[in-house]
């Protein structure tokens, strides 16, 4: 996993929305395209960024490309964030400067 690619991919709201959708289960490119008001070319670009970051997987099933969440990489990213920011003690949130 490239940490830089993962954070770059997560910075985009459309990519985060794709990940939230895939959290519910695998979907074909066509099924995902129906849920996002962008061109298929733009959606394909988002898929490429998410794949390059290792956040999603794809496989060909007949004529369809099926995408799924790569939970292992998502867990690694979450662990990295928690390691950097630390875990808040007993539900207390840290104050921002």
CATH code: domain of residue 48? 1.10.10.10
What is the pLDDT, as a whole number, of residue 91?
56
DSSP assignment, residue 89?
Answer: G
**pLDDT tens, 13-49?**
999 999 999 999 999 999 999 999 999 999 999 999 9
As a whole number of angstroms, the distance between CA 97 and CA 60 comes to: 48
**Between vectors from CA 26 to CA 35 and to CA 69, what angle results, nearest 5°?**
100
Cα separation, 3 vs 77, in Å, equals 8
Range of the domain at 30: 3-85
- Give the residue from 51, 27, 28, 47 showing the smallest Cα distance to 38: 47
Does 91 map to a domain? Answer: no
4-8, 21-25, 49-53, 86-90 — which is least confidently predicted?
Answer: 86-90
Give the confidence band of 85 by pLDDT, cuts at 50, 70, 90.
confident
Total domains in the chain come to 1
**pTM to 2 decimals?**
0.80
């Amino acid at each position: 996993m490239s940490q830089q690619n993962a954070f770059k991919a997560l910075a985009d709201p459309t990519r985060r929305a794709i990940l939230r959708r895939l959290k519910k289960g695998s979907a074909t490119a066509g099924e995902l395209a129906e849920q996002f008001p962008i061109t298929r070319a733009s959606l394909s670009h988002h898929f490429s960024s998410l794949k390059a970051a290792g956040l999603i997987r794809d496989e060909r099933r007949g004529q369809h490309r099926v995408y799924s969440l790569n939970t292992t990489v998502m867990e690694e990213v979450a662990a990295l964030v928690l390691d950097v920011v630390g875990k808040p003690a007993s539900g207390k949130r840290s104050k921002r400067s």
